[in-house]
Structure 1
Amino acid sequence: MASPELPDSGSPAAVLAFVQDQRAAAQRAEVLVLEGALLWAAMHPVSTSSTDEGSTNGGSNGGWLFAEVAVPLGGEGTPLVAEFAPMELGAALGMSTDAARALVGAALELAHRLPRTWKQLKAGKVPVWKARRLAELTLKLPPEGADFVDRQLADTVGKVGWAMIERLVDHARVTFDPEGAEKQRREAADRRRFDVQADAATFDGTVHVEGELDLADALDLNTAIRQGAEELAVLGCTEALDVRRSMAAGELARRQLAFDLRAEAGSADEGAASVVKPRQVVIHVHLSDAAISRDEAGVARIEETRSVVSTDQVRDWCGGDAQVVIKPVIDLDAHHHTDAYAIPGRLAEQTHLTQPVCAFPWCERRATRCDCDHVVAHAAGGPTCSCNLAPLCRRHHRAKTHTGWRYDKTDSATYLWRSPHGLHLIKDRGTTALAPQRTPAGRLGISAG
């Protein structure tokens, strides 16, 4: 199919018409993807995987990995879907397994519990993003509540604002599931959090901080930070207000650390207040020979944050009163082997450092939270060594063990995967889909897609 070309008439009206046509085409394509996800779910209503402990593709952990089951991805009353089915759909669409599960769940919710919204969506009257977000909101409603929301929004879902939709869903939850509404209120309190996203540190050494607090706590924190920013200005700091607020948050933390130190020391005299608690830096830093041997700026890779920073930033972090602990270096290129099935700690750490995330396509779960899998099963003669281990999160480890997913390790951090229905994908620093094609000899080959 030929790609549409931009109008060359120079007419503003022609450009507007062109972009409207492309937006409509994109909408139709997204709806067709949802319909495809719905069909895919219908094709996988139950598990067909072996539940035998001795699976033909056994994993490192043997029989304790339970076989595939049918799971609910949509709301109450929607058909169950084979647990690992979204995995292959996601691989075909270039998305993670979690994203594919959400896609299938939204399709089931819309088609089975929000049929009026589904009809409006297919008619192009509702943006796909809004229909999917609505489906996410109604997932936990009872069938009567989902039907109430669908009826109320039957002719207006594409026109009304999102705040009104959220209020309507809240009303349905309280009306049709009061116990569930109270449970959700308690769960919301349990979801309070405060995250310092050190795993997303920038090259400049800054991180994003976010949280969800009780209103009273949030107001108190905001007041303390505002006062701290004002104090910095009085002391002569000329930075912008937002910068001073960020600095005040750090000052607030350091004051609390000093208070904790005095409490631990059990002393209330003036000398205790002058003691500064040293900063503890426990990170794995990868440096080139040039960065180590020459006193100049370079690049360091931080294992804990999967980010790069300047060597000057590392020096700043470790300078002053910081307590620096040097730990043994693991040679990532070395080959380690043991005759045992159990994986020694040093070999597991080498595996995690070589491949920092799950080896499955488009999965970004940290390797330190994954299982160490024998690529060729130990029971089938696979050795416990550097070249036959890979990190797999529990979900993808089970899929590899109990379904038709197969993979080979082509080098220390590159994996060739084959799905049950013939998809081929390479996972290295990212994921590349390989498209099947016919060779001149008529045999099936693969090429980069």
Structure 2
Amino acid sequence: MFESSTPSLRSHLVIRMVDAARTAAQCQAEMLVSIGELFRARLAEFGECEDYAVDTYAAVAAEVAATLRCSLAMGSSHLRYALAMQERLPQVGRVFEGGGIDYDTFKRIVFRTDLIVDDGRLASADEHLALATPRWGTLSRGKLDKAIDKAVAKADPDAVRRRAEDSGRDRYVEICETDAGVCEIRGRAFDAVGRALDKRLDELAATVCDQDPRTKDQRRTDALQPLADRADRLACRCGLDACPMAGMKPPRTGIVIHVVAEQATLEGSGDAPGYTFDADSLIPAELLRELAAVAKQVPVIPPVDAVPESSYVPSKALADFVRCRDLTCRAPGCDKPATSCELDHTVPYADGGATHASNIKCLCVTHHLLKTFCGWQDLQLPDGTIVWTLPGGQVYVTTPGSALLFPGLSAPTGVLSAAQGRGIGKPGTAAGLAERMAKMPRRSRTRRQNRDAAIAEERRLNQQSRLAAREKIRKIIGPHAGEDRADEDPPPF
């Protein structure tokens, strides 16, 4: 049994919810304001650096990601919205700062106004949206997008984001982790492509004998493997020595998926899950043993008390160990898989740093450049722990990804002298960092040029679609009808 709350209590709880939602929006807006101010401060220190491989935008996005312990992509996203709040949509930004709209609504407005390039038209849309959006809190996402699009269309018809059904430009395939060791695949493709894929999966699913224990749906799913391997058959799982398909297994290919696992699990005496680099996910022991039966196994031996290697490039054994120990990029917040990372000497090899597990770690390309040219300093401990000091003085500590999953890989690998591998980089002055950044590799096209080109192309396609729709309507209602409205958009028939 329960007693219903009094009306006054319910009213108080509703007010608390509203206040909490407004406060949350204000805090998120304040976060973006701080990010924008950080960007301006870095611009004042180092300049625009637009043609650098890691420009000021990327450097600040990485600093944001480290501070908020999020991915580089998320850090870049926060910076993008911070700049839009200051430069493109200041009036909507003030509504956001006051808690009148939430972060999700603000992000949708930024995205759907991205194609407006004329300052006057953008200011008009900004003013309209600032007045209207606080009243749109009850709209669904779809209706909210349509309401924003109406404001954009009024300001600039060619800047409206076209819907998926308007063209095939939003084709995609997405692979998402779900349960342990299983993923979900979804996407959009042209009809002909989908039909061909459906037929090919049926064909591959039919290349096993009648005693295969899997259902048709399971075989169609498993057929994605030989499809990816460019094989012409699905391996049969009947387990019979006399299987008519036994001599017709799919050929080996050059596609490799790296998995880290305990030997005890593979032998059946342990139940620890395995880890797959590219998907950043765990594989249950039962599935791991099934996969191991057809996989190449390479032992990873921790190089405890091993002497430093003489060459700059680590041996395969050392490289394999470092990647299995680290699992991901070792910069704070970064989750790029170790197999996609570069191996970095914490103390540079040219400065006497050792090619040794206690002085080598995985860094993605962006964080490697930040460490080399942008004043990110790091100290590496014998167990693989990294102590980072960023240009602003913030200190972050990252531990190897294997510390929790495979603690044996995170055991200390030997103490090196400061000159060989534990000394932290020299603190950089603003002048020194600017001089170092001047040596940064250059990009062929700046971030602004790429963005302007993408916007121009989407606007061109939008205009082409709009004019085609207008011509179609003219053919329906007559060649001379509506000539006095030639510069207006057609009604939404």
User: How high is the TM-score relative to the length of structure 2?
Assistant: 0.61
Pick from 302, 326, 338: which aligns with 2:275? 302
CA contact (8 A) 2:322 2:361 kept: yes
Pick from 116, 135, 157: which aligns with 1:175? 157
Pick from 66, 84, 108: which aligns with 1:91? 66
Q: Distance in 2 between matches of 1:67 and 1:283?
A: 29
The correspondence of residues 338-357 of structure 1 with structure 2, limited to 5 A, is 338-357=309-328
Find the counterpart in structure 1 of residue 422 from structure 2: none
Find the counterpart in structure 2 of residue 22 from structure 1: 20
C-alpha offsets along residues 70-124 of structure 1, whole Å, 9 cap, x if unaligned? 44xxxxxxxxxxx412333333333333322221221211222112312322232
Aligned: 1:396 with 2:367:
yes
CA contact (8 A) 1:374 1:388 kept: yes
The root-mean-square deviation of aligned C-alpha atoms, in Å, is: 4.5
Q: Distance in 1 between matches of 2:320 and 2:6?
A: 58
C-alpha offsets along residues 258-277 of structure 1, whole Å, 9 cap, x if unaligned? 98369xxxxxxxx9999442
CA contact (8 A) 1:148 1:172 kept: no
Find the counterpart in structure 2 of residue 371 from structure 1: 342
SS in 2 for 1:372: strand
How far off is 1:416 after superposition?
A: 0.8
The correspondence of residues 111-260 of structure 1 with structure 2, limited to 5 A, is 111-144=86-119, 146-147=122-123, 149-158=125-134, 159=136, 161-165=143-147, 167-168=149-150, 171=153, 175-176=157-158, 189=169, 192-196=171-175, 200=177, 202-203=179-180, 205-218=181-194, 248-250=220-222, 260=232
Find the counterpart in structure 1 of residue 237 from structure 2: none
Q: Residues 67 and 195 from structure 1, CA distance in 2 versus in 1: closer, same or farther, beyond 3 angstroms?
A: closer
CA contact (8 A) 1:34 1:103 kept: yes
CA contact (8 A) 1:66 1:398 kept: no
Q: Residues 174 and 275 from structure 1, CA distance in 2 versus in 1: closer, same or farther, beyond 3 angstroms?
A: farther
CA contact (8 A) 1:202 1:307 kept: no
The correspondence of residues 367-446 of structure 1 with structure 2, limited to 5 A, is 367-429=338-400
Aligned: 1:105 with 2:74:
no
CA contact (8 A) 1:96 1:363 kept: yes
CA contact (8 A) 1:121 1:128 kept: yes
Q: Distance in 2 between matches of 1:171 and 1:246?
A: 47
Q: Which residue identity lines up with residue 374 of structure 1 in the other structure? A: H
CA contact (8 A) 2:171 2:187 kept: yes
The correspondence of residues 13-52 of structure 1 with structure 2, limited to 5 A, is 13-46=11-44, 48=46
Q: Distance in 1 between matches of 2:350 and 2:275?
A: 36
Q: Residues 20 and 315 from structure 1, CA distance in 2 versus in 1: closer, same or farther, beyond 3 angstroms?
A: same
Query: Higher mean Cα deviation, 135-144 or 36-45?
Result: 135-144
How far off is 1:311 after superposition?
A: 3.1
CA contact (8 A) 1:137 1:169 kept: no
SS in 1 for 2:62: helix
Find the counterpart in structure 2 of residue 61 from structure 1: none
SS in 2 for 1:317: helix
Q: Distance in 2 between matches of 1:317 and 1:249?
A: 16
Task: Could you tell me which runs of 5 or more consecutive residues in structure 2 were left unpaired when the two chains were aligned.
Answer: 235-243, 402-493
Q: Residues 297 and 310 from structure 1, CA distance in 2 versus in 1: closer, same or farther, beyond 3 angstroms?
A: farther
How far off is 1:219 after superposition?
A: 6.4
C-alpha offsets along residues 161-217 of structure 1, whole Å, 9 cap, x if unaligned? 333056448858983469x99xxx99x74x7443555xx4743x4222122322453
CA contact (8 A) 1:106 1:136 kept: no
Q: Which residue identity lines up with residue 155 of structure 1 in the other structure? A: L
How far off is 1:136 after superposition?
A: 3.2
Pick from 280, 291, 310: which aligns with 1:317? 291
CA contact (8 A) 1:47 1:69 kept: no
How far off is 1:291 after superposition?
A: 3.3
Q: Distance in 1 between matches of 2:15 and 2:284?
A: 48
Find the counterpart in structure 1 of residue 455 from structure 2: none
Q: How many aligned positions are there?
A: 368
CA contact (8 A) 1:258 1:276 kept: no
How far off is 1:16 after superposition?
A: 2.1
C-alpha offsets along residues 141-174 of structure 1, whole Å, 9 cap, x if unaligned? 4134644542442322241533305644885898
CA contact (8 A) 2:375 2:391 kept: yes
Q: Distance in 1 between matches of 2:316 and 2:270?
A: 34
Q: Residues 246 and 127 from structure 1, CA distance in 2 versus in 1: closer, same or farther, beyond 3 angstroms?
A: farther
How far off is 1:39 after superposition?
A: 1.7
How far off is 1:9 after superposition?
A: 12
CA contact (8 A) 2:125 2:155 kept: no
Q: Distance in 1 between matches of 2:368 and 2:227?
A: 45
Q: Distance in 1 between matches of 2:7 and 2:307?
A: 66
Q: Which residue identity lines up with residue 400 of structure 1 in the other structure? A: K
CA contact (8 A) 1:378 1:384 kept: yes
How far off is 1:356 after superposition?
A: 1.2
Q: Distance in 2 between matches of 1:287 and 1:213?
A: 36
Task: Could you tell me which runs of 5 or more consecutive residues in structure 1 were left unpaired when the two chains were aligned.
Answer: 1-6, 52-64, 72-82, 263-270, 431-449
C-alpha offsets along residues 285-322 of structure 1, whole Å, 9 cap, x if unaligned? 544454355x4562241344443333322333355xx5
Q: Distance in 2 between matches of 1:315 and 1:102?
A: 40
Q: Distance in 2 between matches of 1:427 and 1:414?
A: 6
Aligned: 1:332 with 2:302:
yes
How far off is 1:332 after superposition?
A: 2.8
SS in 2 for 1:194: strand
SS in 1 for 2:265: helix
How far off is 1:360 after superposition?
A: 0.4
Q: Which residue identity lines up with residue 128 of structure 1 in the other structure? A: Y
